[in-house]
Amino acid sequence: MMSWLTSFQCLASAPTETVGTEGGFLVLQVIGVLLGVMGLLFFLGAAVGLLRFPDFYTRMHAAGKGDTLSTMLMLAGFGLVTMEDLSLGSWLLLIKIMAVVLFVYLTSPTSSHALMRAAFEDDELPLTEDDLRNSKRGKRRKKR
Amino acid sequence: MTHWFAIIMGAALFTLMIPVIYRIWVGPTSFDRILGVNVIGTKTAVLLVVIGTLFDRVEMFVDFAISYALLNFVGAIVISRYLNRTISLKDMEAREKEGARKR
Amino acid sequence: MYPILIFLLLFLNWIALSGKFDAFHLILGIISCGVVTWLSQDLLYLDRRKKAGERLREAWGFLKYIPWITWEVIKANMHVFKLAMTRAGYEEMAPRVVTFKTYLKTDFAKFVFANSITLTPGTITMLIRGDVFHVHTMSQFLEDDLLEGAIERKVAEVFEPEMLQNK
């Protein structure tokens, strides 16, 4: 209980701290904030696609890739925002954050390929253009 | 400023996870559900970095994020291997032909 | 030659992940990297016929390939964003499975090519059998982009320049 309270105190006392008031690092922070907002925008695209698209394969397109790009943008933004000085420690921190990005870049296509292959070897056949044109959206929703 | 950015970012991430959770809830096939879990797992790695920024211990939370991304990847691979029905090569070629014809 | 290269790569990784430079941590890193190198020395770099200089050239080409593929990812991501958010984009959507043959020979080049296809949004590699790729695409625009073969040419430039000259 007490630990929760102290963590909220940390949140409450946050804005009184002054970090990065020097000019050079303010530019870095603004770039970081911009990158983070762009990442959120792409994640919004992925989430909306996950809701709207008609079948599993197209949903996979929306989720699998909007995910990688938005993760990259957000983590890069946070790496720039937390960079308070140019010492060796903060460079190592940036490299570590970029290591997460590299890891996601390597593994996300592999896992989406594995899922896709599993779905294809199961009975799911992808929807085609004609299926999409023939069935109105409402009808398909009723069928489910 | 850094703290406020982290707080707003975390809240927005949580809000955007709600559609994904809806997809996990209703998802017609089990693959949709795994997909949703995968997306949430990747975003949790980002969220861990956000929390690290809030507590000023980023170097520690980045390690958590790396291991979380690793676990997420292994989980997706394992579940897709588990749901993968092993079929004979002949059946699979027939299905490929069918898929090619359907397009 | 190759065990030393593996050891150096692992040790660089250790330094980046630990971030401490006192003697204790460095010696610990040297010991564990040595053990891992000894255990896995015939696992990495399976094909040892290539010279080290050629490896370096490949690594440099790959490093130059990363920004290009990132730009490609951003461009195609905007297209999928448009498909998801607007009504006109939803009408434009036309999913289908495309089958084509590739001229890449080695496994690693095929792996990089398949992962690049999957990373550019709107196209996912479904099955690879031999040199036949089955790719699921989302719309006509992305299919044209794929069949034009820009990614394949770039991968061939990095890993198999001799294949490009034969074509």
pLDDT tens digits along B6-39: 899 899 999 988 989 998 898 788 888 888 899 9
**A53 in Cβ contact with A62 (< 8 Å):** yes
Chain C residue numbers touching B63 (CB-CB < 8 A): 17
User: For A114-126, b where at least 16 C-beta lie within 10 A, e where not — what string?
Assistant: bbbbbbbbbebbb
Q: Per-residue pLDDT averaged across A90-105, rounded? A: 86
Residue contact B43–A124, C-beta within 8 A? no
For B70, the token pair is 């690793």
Residue C99 has pLDDT above 60, yes or no: yes
User: Which range (A97-101, A119-123, B71-75, C12-16) has the least confidence?
Assistant: A119-123
pLDDT digits (tens, 9 = 90+) for C17-75: 887 778 888 899 999 999 988 888 777 666 666 677 777 888 888 888 888 888 888 88
| Nearest by CB: B103 against C17, C96, C127 | C96
What does the domain layout of chain B look like in residue ranges?
Answer: 2-102
CA dihedral B19, B20, B26, B28 (to 10 degrees): 130
Tell whether A41 lies on the interface with B, counting CB pairs under 8 A: no
Residue contact C97–B103, C-beta within 8 A? yes
The per-residue pLDDT for C116 is 86
Question: Which residues are within 8 A (CB) of A66 and not within 5 positions of it... i.e. 6 or more apart?
Answer: A42, A43, A45, A46, A49, C77, C80, C81, C121
Q: Per-residue pLDDT averaged across A58-66, rounded? A: 83
Percentage, residues of chain C above pLDDT 90? 3
Interface partners of B (3+ CB pairs, < 8 Å)?
A, C
The per-residue pLDDT for C155 is 79
| Nearest by CB: A95 against C16, C81, C122 | C16
What does the domain layout of chain A look like in residue ranges?
Answer: 24-125
The pLDDT confidence band at residue B91, using thresholds 50, 70 and 90, is low
Percentage, residues of chain A above pLDDT 70? 68
User: Which range (A82-86, C48-52, C81-85) has the least confidence?
Assistant: C48-52
Residue C150 has pLDDT above 60, yes or no: yes
| Nearest by CB: B59 against C19, C96, C127 | C19
Q: From the CA of B103, how many Å to the nearest CA of chain C?
A: 6
Closest CA to A110 of A76, A68, A49, A69: A68
B contact residues 31-90, partner C, Cβ 8 Å cutoff: 59, 63
Residue contact A63–B39, C-beta within 8 A? yes
| Nearest by CB: B69 against A60, A78, A100 | A100
Question: A79, exposed or middle or buried, with CB in 10 Å at 0-12, 13-18, 19+?
Answer: buried
Residue contact C134–B96, C-beta within 8 A? yes
pLDDT digits (tens, 9 = 90+) for A5-17: 455 554 444 444 4
Of these ranges, A54-68, B30-44, C94-108, C151-165, the one predicted with the greatest mean pLDDT is B30-44
Residue contacts between A and B (CB atoms, under 8 Å): 163
Q: Per-residue pLDDT averaged across C64-90, rounded? A: 82
The per-residue pLDDT for B11 is 92
